[in-house]
Amino acid sequence: MDLLSIKDPSFVKNMNVHEMEQLSAEIRKFLIEKLSVTGGHIGPNLGVVELTIALHHCFKSPKDKFLFDVGHQSYVHKILTGRADKFDTLRQYKGLCGFPKMIESEHDVWETGHSSTSLSAAMGMAIARDLKKSDAHIVPVIGDGALTGGMALEALNHIGHEKTNMIVILNDNEMSIAPNVGAMHNMLGRMRTGGKYNKLKDDLELLLKRIPAVGGKVASTAERMKDSLKYMFVPGMFFEEFGFTYLGPIDGHSYDDLIKSLEQAKRTEGPVLVHVITKKGKGYEPAETDTVGSWHGTGPYKMDTGDMIKAKNEPPAWSAVVSETVREIARTDERVVAITPAMPVGSKLLGFASEFPERMFDVGIAEQHAATVAAGLATQGMKPFLAIYSTFLQRAYDQVVHDICRPNLNVFIGIDRSGLVGADGETHQGVFDIAFLRHLPNMVLMMPKDENEGRHMVNTAIQYDEGPIAMRFPRGNGLGVEVDPELGVIPIGSWDVLKEGTDAAVLTFGTTIPMALEAAAELEQQGVSVKVINARFIKPLDEQMLDQLFALELPLLTIEEAVLEGGFGSAVLEYAHSSGQHGVVIDRMGIPDQFIEHGSVTKLLEEIHLTKEEAVRKLRALVPEKQEERA
């Protein structure tokens, strides 16, 4: 059929199995073609084609609520709800979002950029449904990786305790972004090979009913025997003990099995968990045979071969620069250990894991746990490197406050994807970490201007023995600068003057340094002399240099690729106030008080006026007498 003509998913309800199989093939072909141009989360979506079609066949969206966890597996749902014609704009500026988006469609009822939230949200929706006396089905679809998140387990406990009517789909593809780890993964593995649950349960019930109940003692023994037999032979008891009826495991690519199980779930009172086994990347060999998570999300690729389309001779990725420097130091410092919450691929830690398997810990999608594990290691004299994306560090805020900063422990936090990340959009933009870390006692926060400085900062962080220290670094590749053969230590709180100037000064760091230098060069040609300072330590500030700038009465412009509220510019203003410098002129550039949607970083920077042109305009305004002289 013509996927571009789909307006709503109602047509799926009238399809037979053969027609749905044809639709599956067409959707897979469509996704492989479209994502080869735009990039996107191809592996997860190829794995849920049949499951998503079956859901729309058995339920009625948007009355029935589908919550996808994590939302990167919602592309098929978007196609079936009338958005196929927008896939050329997927994850592009002002285009189709790569995650569920409530303003996009009434069929997107929950936004999930981070994992493990769907069950809690579904519980809220179910409570509201029951209070309103509605008969809608609430259907969260959660991956086996997301199920390792503590929030998901908290929700399972609540849902089971309340005996809430809900149908939870456990989409078990044995992987999240990288191969899953931990006891939950191992338990699901045993369940996958444990056979069909309900047949075994029914057989056991029949067997036990044949035992003559000739008194309370015998009946009690029979019940104990029944429980023991269940634990011995029946998969799914983990979920049964939470209060769920467990259905499965079933083949997530068989419409007969899916429809039969979903219809049974609809007839069952109380919470039901349908355990669906799917194959990530199903139908596209490069993605289907991926064992490390490379096809979880990609950029553009060659459709016929699966080869990624990348620029030649790119500088190393920032993640690789940082992780490989940690690895280099670990060769001579046995205290160094690495921790990641399910991101060994994205954080480029596979090399470290290969060389130091006993010192590499992937704790699963459990950011809070990762932070406190790092704190525990630090209490024992180890040097933990916590590799975590900025957007995911938000989830461990309490642990950073209570378990790391409060006891002043030597934890090195590598904050990956700091600043704008582009295509993943507002749920992933790493723009809040300065604001939520800068005010914490004992915290040191820094960001390098290039790979060479970044390597020295990594060494600085590992050699630092006075408490927690964090280094921000952006998504993408470095600048390609030459690096020093020997690692040094940068004095904590020291800034670096990159360009001298006498009329004004720019204080900035990281990704915005090139823009500041370009603005200063343009103004130099117009007779305005601008000092550019690499304010590489966001906390502590270089108070000595600030005092010098205040003494010179230079107007200051701060620039940061982070939120202005509570950010670096705020820190400079606070220091000026506490120093009694009430007449100093300070202006700020940064991320405004809004969530930034998806698109290329260049486009997004233009939209929020975080550009060279805006820097030039602001600096001209700071030195009006120079304009008068030119006139």
- C-alpha–C-alpha distance, residues 59 and 136, integer Å: 9
Q: What span, in angstroms and rounded, lies between the C-alpha atoms of 35 and 28?
A: 11
d(CA 444, CA 492): 8
Q: How do strand 444-446 and strand 537-539 relate by DSSP bridges?
A: antiparallel
Dist. CA 119–CA 128, nearest whole Å: 14
Q: How far is CA 376 from the centre of its chain?
A: 24
Q: Is 25:1 a contact under the CB 8 Å cutoff?
A: no
| DSSP tag of 247 | E
Return d(Cα 524, Cα 507) in angstroms, integer. Answer: 17
Q: Give the pLDDT score at 179.
A: 61
pLDDT of residue 402: 98
All residues at 6 or more sequence positions from 152 whose CB lies less than 8 Å from its CB, including other chains:
69, 116, 118, 119, 120, 142, 146
Whether the CB-CB separation of 536 and 506 falls below 8 Å is answered with no
If you search the block for the tokens 């700071």, which residue do you land on? 622
Residue 173 has pLDDT above 90, yes or no: no
> Is 224 tagged catalytic?
no
Phi and psi of 274, rounded to 5°? -100, 115
Which residue reads 């599956």 in tokens? 24
Indicate which residue of 91, 280, 383, 539 is catalytic. 280
Name the amino acid, one letter, at 530. V
Residue partners of 399: CB distance under 8 A and separation at least 6: 368, 371, 372, 375
Q: CATH number of the domain at 3-199+235-289, please?
A: 3.40.50.970
Gap between the Cα atoms of 247 and 251, Å rounded: 12
Please give the mean pLDDT across all residues of the chain: 91
**pLDDT of residue 221 exceeding 90:** no
- In whole angstroms, how large is the CA radius of gyration of the chain? 28
| Distance in angstroms (rounded) separating the CA atoms of residues 187 and 122 | 24
168: part of which helix (H) or strand (E)?
Answer: strand 166-172
Mean pLDDT, range 355-377, rounded to an integer: 97
Percent above pLDDT 90 for the chain: 82
Is 603 catalytic? The answer is no
pLDDT of residue 631: 46
Report the alpha-carbon distance of residue 433 to residue 470 in Å, rounded.
10
Would you list which residues are annotated within the binding site? 72, 113-115, 144-146, 173, 284, 367
Is 212 exposed, middle or buried, given 0-12, 13-18 or 19+ CB atoms closer than 10 A?
Answer: exposed
Query: Residue 93 corresponds to which tokens in the numbers above?
Result: 């500026």
> 318-472 belongs to which homologous superfamily?
Thiamin diphosphate (ThDP)-binding fold, Pyr/PP domains (3.40.50.970)
Where is the binding site for thiamine diphosphate, in residues?
72, 113-115, 145-146, 173, 284, 367
> Per-residue confidence at 292, pLDDT binned at 50, 70, 90?
confident
Q: Is 39 helix (H, G, I), strand (E, B) or coil?
A: coil
One-letter amino acid of 141: V
Name the binding residues for Mg(2+): 144, 173
Intrachain domains 318-472 and 496-622 with the same fold: yes
Residues 6+ apart with CB under 8 A from 301: 35, 36, 39, 286, 307, 308, 309
Catalytic-labelled residue, pool 34, 395, 618, 626? 395
- For 567, phi then psi, to 5°, come to -90, -160
| Planar angle of CA 394, 397, 398, nearest 5 degrees | 150
Question: Taking residues 56-63, what's their average pLDDT?
Answer: 98
Q: Quick one: which of 399, 333, 410, 330 has its CA closest to 377?
A: 410
Query: Average pLDDT, stretch 385-405?
Result: 98
The per-residue pLDDT for 310 is: 81
pLDDT-derived band at 197 (thresholds 50, 70, 90) equals very low
Distance (Å, rounded) from C-alpha 192 to C-alpha 199? 15
Cα–Cα distance measured from residue 268 to residue 146, given in angstroms and rounded to the nearest whole number: 25
The torsion angle over the Cα atoms of residues 44, 47, 52 and 57, rounded to 10 degrees, is: 180
Give the closest residue to 442 by CA, choosing from 410, 394, 398.
410
Among 3, 6, 58, 11, smallest CA distance to 28 is for: 3
Confidence class for position 35, pLDDT limits 50, 70, 90 = very high
Check residue 270 and give left, alpha or beta (phi > 0: left; psi -120 to 50: alpha).
left
Q: Which helix (H) or strand (E) holds 340?
A: strand 336-340
Query: Could you tell me the residue ranges of all domains in the chain?
Result: 3-199+235-289, 318-472, 496-622
Q: What is the pLDDT at residue 216? A: 46
Cβ–Cβ under 8 Å, residues 59 and 7: no
The answer to whether residue 620 is catalytic is: no
Rounded CA-CA distance 172/47 in Å is: 10
Please tell me the distance from the alpha carbon of residue 118 to that of residue 68, in angstroms, as a whole number.
7
CATH number for the segment(s) 496-622: 3.40.50.920
Question: What are the tokens at 401?
Answer: 């406050």
- Cβ count near 552 (within 10 Å): 10
Percent of the chain with pLDDT over 70: 89
Residue with tokens 């006026």: 609
Q: At residue 258, does pLDDT exceed 90? A: yes
In angstroms, how far is CA 567 from the centroid of its own chain? 22
Structure-model confidence comparison of residues 478 and 310, the more confident one: 478
Report the alpha-carbon distance of residue 244 to residue 161 in Å, rounded. 9
Sorted by sequence, the CB contacts under 8 Å of residue 16 that are 6+ apart come out as none
**Residue 629: its pLDDT value, please?**
54
Tokens 């954080």 correspond to 347
Mean pLDDT value of segment 336-344: 96
Mean per-residue pLDDT, 102-106: 96
3-state SS class at 139: strand
| Listed range (231-235, 274-278, 293-297, 319-323) with the worst mean pLDDT | 231-235
Q: Which residue has the tokens 């992933």?
A: 428
| Cα–Cα distance list, 386 to 125, 334, 389 (Å) | 35, 16, 10
Quick one: pLDDT band at residue 312, thresholds 50, 70, 90?
A: confident
Banded pLDDT at 113 (limits 50, 70, 90): confident
pLDDT at 276: 96
Name the active-site residue from 111, 367, 560, 561: 367
Res. 237: pLDDT tops 90: no
Q: How high is the pLDDT of residue 188?
A: 60
For the residues 606-624, what does the mean pLDDT come to? 96
Q: pLDDT tens-digit profile of 434-493? A: 999 999 999 999 999 999 999 999 999 999 999 999 999 999 999 999 999 999 999 999
